[in-house]
Structure formats: structure tokens, C-alpha cells
Amino acid sequence: MSYPSTDNSGENMSTVYDQNVDFYIDFVDRGLNSDRYLPLLELMTDLIGARLNGARVCDLCCGEGYLGRHLVAHGAREVVGIDASAELIGHARARANSASLTYHRDDAQALSSLTDGTFDVVASQLAIMDVADHRALFSAVRRVLVPHGVFVFSTLHPCFKARPFHVRDAPENLLDENGEPLGVPLDGPANGALFSEVPMVLVVAARAN
């Protein structure tokens, strides 16, 4: 059963996931069927801790929604999933197994469909390496969190990096406005290594003051 919600669809928000949705859904389903994601889901639940009970959670870059379903099953009062992919939002709604799950199409760099200070937890599973502007993402997350709320996310380990396949002569590092190295691009779907099965990930928990 699906539970509809309101979209905040921007223009031209087609993503690499929209273009490869069948491949991606098959990839996720194989992971779920083999319990490949279970240790990571359990670690994220442990990091959120007791605050998950009765919490309002934003599932950032939710994909087909498996993280949100896991969090509702482990005590979250409500999970709002956000993703830029219309195709994946459709799959998430179709797979929703609780009225506590709702989904919006929105940009993780803005979260313009979400109200300030209304989430106890923001969680994201293996996704933020595919968001172009991390400063904007963290700013948006901070805005929607309540005071002392937490942001828990996993991402591919930065030792697995790759230049974007679609940008010829892309620099080795991400550069700031002065051309100084700011960070490294991570290997992931937006960089052309579609849906890598590399098992090494980082899991981070950060608290908003």
C-alpha cells in the first residue's frame, strides 16, 4: 500500500537514478534479500539510540525507502523521505508499509519543502557522496533539525574516489573559489561508477547545537 504525500518538484530534476531506476531497484533488492545492508542499518539505529523512540525523522536522499521503513519498525513516530528522483519517490510510496511514512520530491541542498526546526533526526544511507554541494546540504539539514537534533549518515569511504566520468579533464580534487583543494570526489553513482558494491563505508553522527 502506498501513502501519498505532497511534492515540491523543481524543474529539470531528472537524476541518474531516474535514468537507471530498474537497475538501481534490482541492486537494492538484491542487497535487502541477502541482508547485505543489515549491519549498516543496525549501526545507524545504534548511533541514533534512544532518541529514535517517538522521533520525527527525515530520511535524506531516501531512494526506494528501505532506511525509513527500518526506522519506523524500530520506533520512529514519523519518517519523511526526501529524494530528487521522481522514479524513486514513486517506488518508495509503493513500498511504504506504514501510514507513518511519507515522501516528497525535493533537493537535498535546499529541503525547501520542509519547515525549520521540525525534525529530531536526519538520517541518510549511502547517498550524500552524490550530492554536489555538501555545504548547502549541511546547512539545509541544520535548518530543519530541532536544537540538539542529530544528523546520522553513511557514505562511501573517501579512499574510493573517482573523477566524474562525464567531465573531461576533471581536477583530482574539489576546489574552492580560489582554486585551492577543498576535498576529493567520491566514487559513486553521480560520478559514473553506478551503484558500486564496495563494502567500505563511513558512518558519522553529528549533533546540532
Q: Please state, as a whole number, how many other Cβ atoms lie within 10 Å of the Cβ of residue 74.
A: 14
Options 3.50.30.30, 3.40.50.150, 3.90.1150.10, 3.20.20.70; which CATH number does 16-207 get?
3.40.50.150
Name the pLDDT band for 9 (thresholds 50, 70, 90): very low
Residues 173/182, Cβ–Cβ less than 8 Å = yes
Distance in angstroms (rounded) separating the CA atoms of residues 189 and 17: 8
Q: For residue 32, what is its C-alpha cell? A: 535487502
- Residue-wise pLDDT for 25-69, tens only, equals 998 999 899 888 888 899 999 999 999 999 999 999 999 999 999
**What kind and span of H or E run contains 45?**
helix 38-48
